[in-house]
């Protein structure tokens, strides 16, 4: 019987494995630090489970890379984290952070499963997806138990099934606006929550880095996160709906360096990419014109911020290059 694991990796498989490897090496660094500082005995097992899962993923991917003669990415190592640094984030924030990371992992591996073909790679991404779902369950259940889980807003249950009959459903600039749909409320809530988490993470990173260029970049990101929170919160408040609260108070006053600037910049860049995707999905799911325009106007701004971050990473040699397609013109020219 043919060994289907000897089939050459496709571009999609290279991409998904390479990205997962980088992300898991980052997760190992971050969770080792969390584990060193955790005080809550209920949170500790969740961090341990997350760390063990990431380390197991790395082992599986190393085997796939080695068998396929694919150069193993560098990613992040123990040199990128200072485990002796004081506590930077509260255990409550760590739970919310891990919950958000599980959401990103579910999205990434769900997409990967629609593109990968080789049986061992398919099985790997299924495993990672299942682990992400399990982490989501673990964090949700513990946060509900501890009373720290923030639910999206409640709206009234419809009395009956109805259909849109007027173009007014799409309006939003002039005259009376229709109420928000449940989908629009959901995206506004999630984008507020994710920007608050990003802002808290950036706050911790900004006060612990010694690189002035990185610090200024992070402070700019903090301002953008607050700007987006204010925009989306105002929409909900005008509809008499509650908006999520800030997580800033869950960051300590420590200024001791914890993570390398390379890790910090990669982590924030990855979250920016996710944020751009969130804005795009929200725009597509929001028929009310004023909301669509709001999201559309923010995407160029955050994209420029992402580009500036990439330039900083390239300048300092922190950006590891993903697999590239062959440059046929360069090959032809010898």
* Confidence label for 289 from pLDDT (cuts 50, 70 and 90): confident
Structure confidence by residue, pLDDT tens digits, 205-223: 999 999 999 999 999 999 9
Which tokens is 132 given? 């992400």
262 vs 164 pLDDT, higher one: 262
The reported pLDDT for the residue numbered 225 is: 95
Predicted confidence (pLDDT) per residue in 96-144, tens digit:
999 999 999 999 999 999 999 999 999 999 999 999 999 999 999 999 9
pLDDT in tens, 64-75: 999 989 999 999
Confidence tier at 53 by pLDDT (50, 70, 90): very high
| Same fold flag, 8-146 and 178-315 | yes
Classified as helix, coil or strand, 39 is coil
Assign domain 178-315 to its CATH architecture. Answer: Up-down Bundle (1.20)
Is residue 255 classed exposed, middle or buried when 0-12, 13-18 and 19+ CB atoms within 10 A define those classes?
A: middle
Tell me the average pLDDT across 267-293.
90
For the chain, the average pLDDT equals 91
Determine how many CB atoms are found less than 10 A away from the CB of residue 321: 8
Whole-number Å distance between alpha carbons of 57 and 108: 15
Mapped onto helix, strand or coil, the DSSP state of residue 332 is helix
pTM of the model: 0.91
When pLDDT is averaged across residues 163-175 and rounded to a whole number, the result is 58
φ and ψ at residue 207, rounded to 5 degrees:
-85, -5
Query: What pLDDT score was predicted for residue 168?
Result: 56
pLDDT given at position 244: 81
Using 50, 70 and 90 to split pLDDT, how confident is the model at 247?
Answer: confident
Domain boundaries, the chain: 8-146, 178-315
Residues in a beta bridge with 251: 89
Burial readout 7-28 (b: 16 or more C-beta within 10 A, e: otherwise): eebeeebbbbbbebbbbbbbbb
At 304-332, the pLDDT tens digits run 999 999 999 999 999 999 888 766 666 66
Nearest Cα residue to 140 out of 103, 104, 110: 103
User: Residue 120's pLDDT is what?
Assistant: 96
**The two three-digit tokens of residue 121, written as one number:** 């790679």
pLDDT of 264 above 90: yes
Confidence (pLDDT) at 1: 47
Q: What is the mean pLDDT of residues 32-40?
A: 97
| Bridge partners for 153 per DSSP | none
pLDDT at position 155: 78
pLDDT at 323: 85
Q: How many CB atoms lie within 10 A of CB 257?
A: 15
- What is the topology classification, in CATH, of domain 8-146? Ferritin (1.20.1260)
Angle at 14 between CA 8 and CA 17, to 5 degrees: 120
């Amino acid at each position: 019987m043919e060994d289907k694991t000897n089939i050459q990796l496709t571009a999609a498989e290279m991409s998904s494995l390479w990205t997962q490897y980088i992300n898991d090496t980052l997760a190992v660094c971050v969770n080792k630090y969390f584990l060193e500082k955790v005080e809550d005995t209920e949170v500790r097992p969740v961090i341990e489970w997350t760390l063990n899962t990431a380390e197991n993923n790395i082992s599986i991917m190393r085997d796939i890379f080695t068998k396929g003669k694919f150069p193993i990415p560098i990613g992040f190592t123990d040199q990128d984290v200072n485990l002796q640094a004081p506590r930077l984030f509260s255990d409550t924030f760590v739970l919310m952070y891990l919950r958000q990371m599980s959401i990103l992992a579910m999205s990434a591996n769900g997409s990967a499963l629609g593109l990968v073909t080789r049986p061992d790679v398919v099985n790997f991404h299924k495993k990672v997806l299942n682990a992400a779902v399990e982490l989501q369950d673990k964090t949700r259940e513990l946060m509900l138990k501890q009373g720290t889980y923030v639910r999206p807003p409640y709206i009234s249950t419809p009395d009956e099934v109805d259909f849109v009959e007027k173009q007014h459903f799409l309006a939003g600039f002039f005259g009376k606006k229709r109420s928000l749909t449940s989908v629009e409320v959901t995206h506004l809530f999630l984008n507020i929550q994710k920007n608050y988490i990003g802002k808290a993470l950036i706050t911790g990173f900004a006060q612990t880095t010694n690189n002035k260029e990185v610090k200024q970049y992070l402070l700019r990101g903090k301002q953008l996160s607050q700007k987006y929170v204010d925009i989306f919160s105002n929409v909900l408040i005008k509809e008499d709906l509650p908006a999520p609260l800030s997580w800033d108070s869950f960051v300590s006053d420590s200024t001791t360096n914890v993570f390398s600037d390379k890790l910090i910049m990669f982590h924030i860049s990855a979250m920016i990419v996710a944020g751009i995707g969130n804005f795009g999905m929200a725009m597509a799911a929001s028929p009310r014109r004023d909301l669509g325009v709001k999201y559309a106007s923010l995407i160029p701004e955050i994209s420029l911020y992402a580009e500036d971050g990439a330039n900083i990473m390239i300048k300092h040699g922190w950006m590891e290059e993903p697999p590239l397609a062959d440059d046929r013109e360069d090959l032809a020219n010898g």
